[in-house]
């Protein structure tokens, strides 16, 4: 089975401290993924990661979120690009040390967009990597956009496009929180399951990220994943925590935790 697994920026960085990677967490998540893959020869993974305190603080400091036409806006675009790639370099380095055959596919070099919608993405390299038992890595990145000049696309937006190209059986979004809270920031009640049918009722309860998040926080994640299951009814999606050691490994092995997003 092919699984899309995202390691959230809130998990692999300290989102409240600028440009601060959590090396111990990155290393541990790599070990958990390695263990799951070694135990299941049929398991293939496309990895994604957020930009956390790298991309989001760069966006805040430079004032860039979307739209680039002036010199200062393009310099902001470049600063966010640089920050996102700095974190990706750290991520790839630590995952390589763990023995995982990861290959980075920076979205900024291969995607063209129009009004924040992906127009073209040559996925042949990603598909070839998977066939040959390599692990593709994508990440939140700056993208050149026909209408807006430059934009930022989240990993979830990248996954949404890749679903039709690669047909994953599951998507796992591993962050700091154990799922989607019904009462954030009190954090006493998790929402066990979100579907298109009950989303209207739970939408008002879902709060965006408490930390800086220029890509929309939890609410945007849920909306994108609901779009995914609406058009791919057999797709299984889970929002889980990666803070608990062993949780990512268990999820890759099929153990359901956190909040499930499903078509019905």
The helix or strand, by DSSP H or E, that contains position 223, with its residue range, turns out to be helix 217-231
What is the pLDDT at residue 205? 67
The helix or strand, by DSSP H or E, that contains position 171, with its residue range, turns out to be strand 170-175
Q: What is the pTM of this model?
A: 0.94
Domains and CATH numbers, the chain: 2-261 (3.40.1160.10)
Q: Is the omega angle on the peptide bond into residue 185 within 30 degrees of 0, that is, cis?
A: yes
Measure the CA–CA gap between 140 and 105, rounded to whole angstroms: 11
Per-residue tens of pLDDT for the chain, all 264 residues: 999 999 999 999 998 899 999 999 999 999 999 999 999 999 999 999 999 999 999 999 999 988 999 999 999 999 999 999 999 999 999 999 999 999 999 999 999 999 999 999 999 999 999 999 999 999 999 999 999 999 999 999 999 999 999 999 999 999 999 999 888 888 888 999 999 888 877 776 676 544 445 545 788 889 999 999 999 999 999 999 999 999 999 999 999 989 999 998
Do 240 and 258 meet the contact criterion of CB atoms below 8 Å apart? yes
What is the pLDDT at residue 212? 45
Do 134 and 44 meet the contact criterion of CB atoms below 8 Å apart? no
What is the pLDDT at residue 6? 98
* Residues 6 or more apart whose Cβ sits within 8 Å of residue 264: 195, 196, 197, 233
How many other CB atoms sit within 10 Å of the CB of residue 222?
24
Q: Quick one: angle between helices 23-39 and 71-97, nearest 10?
A: 50
């Amino acid at each position: 089975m092919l699984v899309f697994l995202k390691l959230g920026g809130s998990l692999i960085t300290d989102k409240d401290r600028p440009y601060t990677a959590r090396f111990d967490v990155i290393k541990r998540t790599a070990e958990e993924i390695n263990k799951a893959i070694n135990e299941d020869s049929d398991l293939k993974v496309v990895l994604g990661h957020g930009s956390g305190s790298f991309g989001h603080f760069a966006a805040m400091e430079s004032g860039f979120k979307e739209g680039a036409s002036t010199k200062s806006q393009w310099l902001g675009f470049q600063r966010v690009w640089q920050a996102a790639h700095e974190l990706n370099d750290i991520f790839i380095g630590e995952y390589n040390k763990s023995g995982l055959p990861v290959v980075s596919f920076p979205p900024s070099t291969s995607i063209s967009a129009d009004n924040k919608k992906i127009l073209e993405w040559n996925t042949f390299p990603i598909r070839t990597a998977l066939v040959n038992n390599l692990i593709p890595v994508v990440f939140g990145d700056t993208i050149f956009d026909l209408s807006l000049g430059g934009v930022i696309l989240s990993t979830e937006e990248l996954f949404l496009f890749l679903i039709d190209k690669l047909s994953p059986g599951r998507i796992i979004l591993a962050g700091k929180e154990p799922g989607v809270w019904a009462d954030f920031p009190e954090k006493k009640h998790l929402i066990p399951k979100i579907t298109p049918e009950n989303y209207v009722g739970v939408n008002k309860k879902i709060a965006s990220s408490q930390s800086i998040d220029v890509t929309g926080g939890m609410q945007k994640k849920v909306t994108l994943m609901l779009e995914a299951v609406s058009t791919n009814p057999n797709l299984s999606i889970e929002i889980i925590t990666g803070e608990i050691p062993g949780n990512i490994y268990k999820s890759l092995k099929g153990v359901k935790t956190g909040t499930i997003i499903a078509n019905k």
